[in-house]
Structure 1
Amino acid sequence: MSTTTRTVTSRPRLEPRRIGRWIDDWRPEDMDFWNERGAAIARRNLIYSVASEHIGFSVWTLWSVLVLFLGPGYGFDVGQKFLLTAVPSLLGSFVRVPYTFAVAKFGGRNWTVISAALLLVPTVAIAIVLEPGVSFETLLWVSALAGVGGGNFASSMTNINAFFPARLKGWALGINAGGGNLGVAVAQLVGLAVLALTGTQYPRLIVAIYIPLIVLATVLSAIKMDNLSQVSNAKGAIREVSTHVESWVLAFLYIGTFGSFIGFSFAFGQVLLVQFPKEFPNPAAAAALTFLGPLLGSLIRPVGGRLADRYTGSRVTFWNFVAMALGTSVVLLAALLHSLPLFVAGFVTLFVFSGLGNGSTYKMIPAVFLAKAQLAVGSGAPIEQANAVSLRRSGALIGLAGAIGALGGFGVNLAFRQSFLSLGNANGAYLAFIGFYLVCLVVTWAWFIKSRPGRLEGV
C-alpha cells in the first residue's frame, strides 16, 4: 500500500489593493525630510484641498443666495425662508463626523474625489425643481441635500492636519479653512451677478455655473492629490477624545466662532431685507452687501491661525469673543436707531472677528493634544507613539468640533426666525448672541488662561 504525501505551501496574504496615489513615508517633523520633499508635497495637496473645499462651502451656502430669488411667486413667508437656510447647516453638521473618518478609511485624496463628486447631487436637484409652484416641502428636502457641502470642511481639515508639522499647523489649517470659507462670499457674488443680469427669474443659472466647476475640482483632486498611509483614525478615536474635557470646551467655543460665521453668512441677506425693507426694495441691493462680511471673515481666518501660532490660540480666542460681544452690541444699537451704515459696520465687525476666531480656535485643537503628548513623553512614553496618538486624536477632534460648531449656524438661523416671528425684529436674537459670547470668553479664560492645577501650557 503506497502513501501519497502532498506538501501544502502557504502563500503570503495579499494586502488589499490600494486605489490612488499613496505615500508610505511621511515625516513632516523631520526638518531634512520637510525641506527636501515634504514641503512641496504638502503645499500641492493644500492647494487642491482648498479648491475642493471652497466649492463645497459654496454649495453648502447656496440657499443663503437662493432665498433672495424666492419672491411672491413662490408664496413663502419669512419663517419658511429661514428654515430653508437653517436645514443645510443642520445636515452639514451631522455629516462632518463620518467625513472626518472617511479620510482614514479611503485616503485623503480618494475621499476628496468622492466628496467633491457628491456635490453634484444637491446642485442637480436644484436645477430640476427650483421654479414657481414648487412645494415648500420639496424645497426643504432639496435644501437639506446641500448639507453635504458642509462635510467637505471636516475631511479636508483632517487631511491637511496630517501633512504639516506642528509649527505650521495654525497657518496651514487657517489657509485651508479660509480658502474654503471664501466659497461663501463667492457664492453670494455669483448670486449677485445673476440677480443683476437676469433679475429673480433664473435662479437655476447659479447651479449651471457650479456644476462644471464641481466636475473640474473632482478631476484635479484625482490627478494632483496624495493619500497618506500613516493617517489613521483608529477605532475609538472619537471615544478617546470625548473623555477629554478640553474636547468639549473647544467644541463649545467653536460654536461661538464658526457657528457665528456660517450662521450669519446664511442669514445676513434675509435680515437686511426684513429689517430694512425701504432701503432694499429689491434683492439685488441686499446681495450687493451680503458678500462683504463672509469675504473679510474668510480672508482673515489664516491671520487668526498665525496669531495663535505666535501668542497661543486661547489668548487670541479670548479677545475675539470680547470683540464679538462689542460688535453685536453695535448691531443692536444700529437696529434700535434704524441706522443702516452702523448696522452694516457692526455686522462686518462680527464677520471679521468670527473669522479670526475660527483660525485661533482650530489651532488650539492640535495644541491641546501636542501638550498632552509632551506630558506623556515626560512620563516615559516613546515619542513616536505619543506623536501618533496626538495626530490621531487631533484629527478626530477636528471632525467632532467642526460638527458641533456647525450646529451654531443652525442655532443662529433659528434665533433670527424666532425673534422675527415673536417680536417682529431681530433684537431678541442679538441679545442672545451677546450673552453667549460673554459666556464663551469666560470659559476661555477660566479653562485655558487662568492659572490652575492641571492647565495645559501653550494652548
Structure 2
Amino acid sequence: MSSTTDTSRTGGEWLESWDPEDEATWDKGLAWKTLWVTTFCLTLAFVAWFLPSAIIPKLNALGYDFSKSQLYWMAAMPGLSAGLLRIVWMTLPPILGTRKMVALTTLLLVFSTVGWGVRVQSPTAPYWELMVLAFLAGIGGGAFSGFMPSTSYFFPRRMQGTALGLQAGLGNFGVSLVQLLTPILIGLGALAVFGGSQELEVAGKANKEVWFQNAAFVWVPLMIIGAAMAWTMLKSVPIKANIKQQFDIFGNQDTWWMTLLYIMTFGTFSGLAAQFGLLMLNLYGAGNEEIVRGSGATAEVLIQGYSVPDPVSYVFLGALVGAAARVVFSPLTDKMGGAIWTLISGIGLIASISFTMTALTPDTSSAEALQGGFDRFFWGMLAIFLFSGIGNASTFKQMPMIFERRQAGGVIGWTAAIAAFGPFFFGVGVTLFGPVAFYGIGVAWAVMCVAITWWRYARPGAPKPG
C-alpha cells in the first residue's frame, strides 16, 4: 500500500508507473472504469451480506420456531463474520491485486446466497446450519475492506472523497435494494424456476403463498456476471507492501481515533440496517405479545384500531437514506473538508438517537398512543440513518488527508473492519441490555466522538485538520 510501485509485477493485469497525482500520465478513464465495475460488485456484496436481514424476520412465519434471542443472534452473525473477514480482506489488495481480489470475492458470494435460497423452501434446517449461512453472508461485508482501499489507489487525493463516497454509497444501496425487492420477488411465482411455494403466516393477516427462494436466487446470475466483468475489465496497481508493513498503521494514534469515529458512523448504519426489521417487529408488531397474540390468520390484535406494521414495507428506507446521504454529501466533503461534517454527523446522531429512545417502550394504552410511538420510532430511525450516512462520507474524506497514501488504504480497511461488527454488537447489545439502555450507550459514544472530532480534527489549529 505504498505509492511506490513494485517493478517485479509488470505486464498483463499489472500497471506500470502508476501515479494518479501526475495529471500528465494518470489514466482517468481506467480509474472511473475500475470504480464502476468494483462498485457493481460491491453492491452485490452488500446484497449478500444483508440478505439474511430480509429473510430472518420471516423465518418463523415460514414455519420455523426460533426465539427472539435466537433470531437476534442470527441477524447479528453476518456482522461478526464481516468484521473478522474485513481484517483479512484489508490485506489482500497489495497481495492479490484489484482484478483477482474483486473477481474471486464476487464468486464467493454465490455460496451463502444459494444456501439461503435452498433453506427458506422448507422449515427443516437446524439452527446451527442457518448460523453458518449467516456467517458466510459476512463475506459480502468483508469485501468492503478490500474493495475500497484498492479503488483509492486509482484516484488522486483531491478526488478521493467523491470517488470513495460514490463507491461506498452506491455499494450501501445493496442493503436497501435487497430489503426493498425481497417482498416483491417472493410474490412472483413465475420466477421460481427452482423449488415450489411456501405458506407465509403473517400475524393478523390471511396466509399468503410465497416463493421466498426468489429473494436469493435472483442475485446469483448477477454475481457471476460481476465476477466475469472484474476478471476481464480490471487492472491492478502493483503496490509494494507485505503484511508487516501494512500493520504499521497501528503505531499512528490517528488510526485509533478514526476507528472510534467510524464505529459511530458506519457501525451505527450497518447495525441498524441489519436489525431494523426485527426491532420493529418486536416493539410494534407481531413479535410483541402485548400487541398481537398468536400468529397467522388466527392472530388476535389486542389493541383494536391499531394496524400492525409489516417490517418489509419500511426497513429498506433506513439503508436507502443512509446510502443516499453518503453519496450526496461526499462532494461536499471534498469542498469543505471532512472534519466539519463528521462533527455535524456526531451532533445529529446525539439528537436523533435521544429522540428515538422515547419510542423504544411502546405505550399500549390505546391505538393512538401506540401509533404515535411507532411514528416517533420510524422517523427517529430515519434521522439516525441520515446522520450516520453523512459521517460515513466525511470520515472517508478525512482518512486520505490525514494519512500518507500507503497508510490511508490500510486505515480505510481497518476502520471498516471494526465498524462492520455493528450488526453483531447491535444484536448482542439489544439482547443483553434491552433497546433503551443500548441506545443510551449509543448517545454516550456519539458524545465522545464529537469531543474527539473537535479536539483532534475540526477546531481552529487542530493537530490534524482534514
Which interval holds the TM-score relative to the shorter structure?
0.7 to 0.9
Output the CA distance in 2 between the equivalents of 1:164 and 1:17.
20
- Deviation for aligned residue 1:19: 8.8
Letter in 2 for 1:318: L
Output the CA distance in 2 between the equivalents of 1:304 and 1:233.
32
- Please list every run of 5 or more consecutive structure 1 residues that lacks an aligned counterpart in the other structure: 1-14, 370-389, 421-425
1:295 corresponds, among 303, 311, 320, to 320
Contact 1:317 1:444 in 2 (8 A): yes
Q: CA RMSD in A?
A: 2.2
- Which residue matches 2:392? 358
Letter in 2 for 1:265: A
Letter in 2 for 1:65: A
- Deviation for aligned residue 1:115: 0.5
- Which residue matches 1:438? 447
- Deviation for aligned residue 1:412: 1.4
Output the CA distance in 2 between the equivalents of 1:189 and 1:290.
8
Pair 323,194 (structure 1): closer, same or farther in 2 beyond 3 Å: same
Output the CA distance in 1 between the equivalents of 2:452 and 2:349.
15
Matched, 1:335 2:360: yes
Indicate the SS of the match to 1:22: coil
- Which residue matches 1:272? 280
- Which residue matches 1:63? 52
Output the CA distance in 2 between the equivalents of 1:178 and 1:400.
18
Contact 2:340 2:458 in 1 (8 A): yes
Matched, 1:25 2:8: no
Matched, 1:142 2:133: yes
- Deviation for aligned residue 1:305: 2.5
Contact 2:188 2:211 in 1 (8 A): no
Pair 219,416 (structure 1): closer, same or farther in 2 beyond 3 Å: same
Letter in 2 for 1:334: A
Pair 451,108 (structure 1): closer, same or farther in 2 beyond 3 Å: same
- Deviation for aligned residue 1:365: 1.1
Letter in 1 for 2:59: L
Contact 1:334 1:343 in 2 (8 A): yes
- Deviation for aligned residue 1:20: 5.3
- Which residue matches 1:115? 105
Contact 2:77 2:423 in 1 (8 A): no
- Which residue matches 1:77? 67
Q: Aligned ranges for residues 121-160 of structure 1 at < 5 Å?
A: 121-130=111-120, 131-160=122-151
Letter in 2 for 1:448: Y
- Please list every run of 5 or more consecutive structure 2 residues that lacks an aligned counterpart in the other structure: 1-6, 190-198, 201-209, 297-307, 364-369
Output the CA distance in 2 between the equivalents of 1:357 and 1:287.
26
User: Which of the pair has more CA radius of gyration?
Assistant: 1
Pair 27,250 (structure 1): closer, same or farther in 2 beyond 3 Å: same
- Which residue matches 1:210? 219
Output the CA distance in 2 between the equivalents of 1:17 and 1:169.
25
- Which residue matches 2:206? none
Output the CA distance in 1 between the equivalents of 2:383 and 2:263.
18
Matched, 1:260 2:294: no
1:349 corresponds, among 383, 394, 403, to 383
Output the CA distance in 2 between the equivalents of 1:409 and 1:252.
16
Output the CA distance in 2 between the equivalents of 1:89 and 1:240.
26
Output the CA distance in 2 between the equivalents of 1:321 and 1:75.
39
Output the CA distance in 2 between the equivalents of 1:405 and 1:92.
9
* Percent of residue pairs identical: 26
Output the CA distance in 1 between the equivalents of 2:422 and 2:339.
20
Output the CA distance in 2 between the equivalents of 1:147 and 1:84.
12
Indicate the SS of the match to 1:455: coil
Q: List per-residue Cα deviations over 1:326-375 (Å, max 9, x = no partner).
A: 11112112334642222111101111111110110111111111xxxxxx
Output the CA distance in 1 between the equivalents of 2:309 and 2:36.
32
Contact 1:304 1:358 in 2 (8 A): no
TM-score, with length taken from structure 2: 0.84
Contact 1:185 1:294 in 2 (8 A): yes
Q: List per-residue Cα deviations over 1:45-92 (Å, max 9, x = no partner).
A: 100010000000110111111112212521101111111111111110
- Deviation for aligned residue 1:391: 1.6
Contact 1:182 1:295 in 2 (8 A): yes
1:317 corresponds, among 337, 342, 349, to 342
- Deviation for aligned residue 1:143: 0.9
Q: List per-residue Cα deviations over 1:370-409 (Å, max 9, x = no partner).
A: xxxxxxxxxxxxxxxxxxxx22111111111111111233
Output the CA distance in 1 between the equivalents of 2:323 and 2:9.
39
- Which residue matches 1:246? 254
Matched, 1:391 2:405: yes
Pair 119,284 (structure 1): closer, same or farther in 2 beyond 3 Å: farther
Pair 313,237 (structure 1): closer, same or farther in 2 beyond 3 Å: farther
- Which residue matches 1:306? 331
Letter in 2 for 1:255: I
Letter in 2 for 1:407: F
Moved over 4 A (4+): 15-20, 195-199, 278-284
Output the CA distance in 2 between the equivalents of 1:235 and 1:271.
40
Pair 110,284 (structure 1): closer, same or farther in 2 beyond 3 Å: farther
Letter in 2 for 1:101: T
- Deviation for aligned residue 1:203: 2.5
- Deviation for aligned residue 1:204: 2.0
Q: List per-residue Cα deviations over 1:137-188 (Å, max 9, x = no partner).
A: 1111121111111111111101110000010000000001011100000010
Contact 1:188 1:287 in 2 (8 A): yes
Contact 1:238 1:400 in 2 (8 A): no
Letter in 1 for 2:406: R
- Deviation for aligned residue 1:111: 0.8
Which one is further off, 259-268 or 402-411? 402-411
Higher helix proportion, which one?
1
Which one is further off, 308-317 or 184-193? 308-317
- Which residue matches 2:366? none
Contact 1:260 1:354 in 2 (8 A): yes
- Deviation for aligned residue 1:284: 8.3
Q: Aligned ranges for residues 228-247 of structure 1 at < 5 Å?
A: 228-229=237-238, 231-247=239-255
Contact 2:285 2:310 in 1 (8 A): no
1:221 corresponds, among 226, 230, 239, to 230
- Which residue matches 2:195? none
- Deviation for aligned residue 1:202: 3.3
Which one is further off, 305-314 or 397-406? 305-314
